């Protein structure tokens, strides 16, 4: 099964027009999981598309926010999470300086990375002010919706 950009766009339109909060499609080794912004990951067998197991409890505990959220691992730290499934890039292009590194100051509109989905580049804003204290994913890593990308100490 192959999905074109138009196919995914149409699926997003159908989800938006429906009463449902999520759509999961799996066929021929391709898995597509769509959720409305702020929707809790499904309580069924397919909750693996949210935060990694054990990182912050189950997906049913609280909605996974693509922006910053309180981190369980570090008191007072905020997590910046992947807003969607895709490939994470920490720099605007190969060989370029990264958007942020440990110790970088960020503001709510600061771009901290990019997630590529089907050749579309989606900027990830910090959504908070503070200092980057930990970067948890490498450049070119596949990330899942809600996966913690980095941690920030709020200003």
What pLDDT does 24 receive?
A: 77
What tens digit of pLDDT does each residue of 17-65 get? 777 777 777 777 777 877 766 554 443 333 333 333 333 333 333 343 4
What pLDDT does 46 receive?
A: 33
CATH number reported for the structural domain that contains residue 92 in this entry: 2.40.50.100
Structural domain containing residue 140? 5-154
What pLDDT does 72 receive?
A: 47
- Put residue 28 in one of left, alpha, beta given phi > 0 → left and psi -120 to 50 → alpha: left
What tens digit of pLDDT does each residue of 76-132 get? 899 999 999 999 999 999 999 999 999 999 999 999 999 998 888 999 999 999 999
Alpha carbon distances (Å) from 1 to 6, 85, 115: 14, 18, 23
Predicted TM-score (pTM) of this structure: 0.55
- Burial of residue 122 (CB within 10 Å: 0-12, 13-18, 19+) is middle
Domain count, the chain: 1
Alpha carbon distances (Å) from 67 to 70, 73, 79, 128: 10, 17, 8, 8
């Amino acid at each position: 099964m192959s999905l074109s950009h138009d196919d995914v766009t149409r699926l997003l339109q159908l989800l938006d027009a429906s009463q449902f909060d999520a759509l999961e499609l799996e066929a021929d080794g391709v898995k597509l999981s769509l959720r409305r912004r702020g929707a809790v990951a499904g309580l069924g067998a397919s909750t693996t598309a949210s935060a990694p197991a054990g990182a912050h409890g189950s997906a049913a505990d609280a909605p996974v926010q693509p922006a910053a959220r309180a981190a369980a691992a570090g008191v007072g730290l905020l997590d910046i999470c992947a807003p969607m499934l895709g490939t994470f890039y920490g720099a605007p292009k190969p060989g370029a300086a990264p958007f942020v590194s440990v110790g970088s100051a960020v503001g709510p509109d600061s771009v901290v990375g990019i997630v590529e989905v089907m050749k579309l580049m989606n900027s990830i804003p910090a959504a908070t002010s503070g200092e980057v204290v930990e970067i948890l994913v490498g450049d070119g890593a596949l990330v899942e919706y809600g996966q913690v990308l980095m941690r920030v100490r709020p200003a």
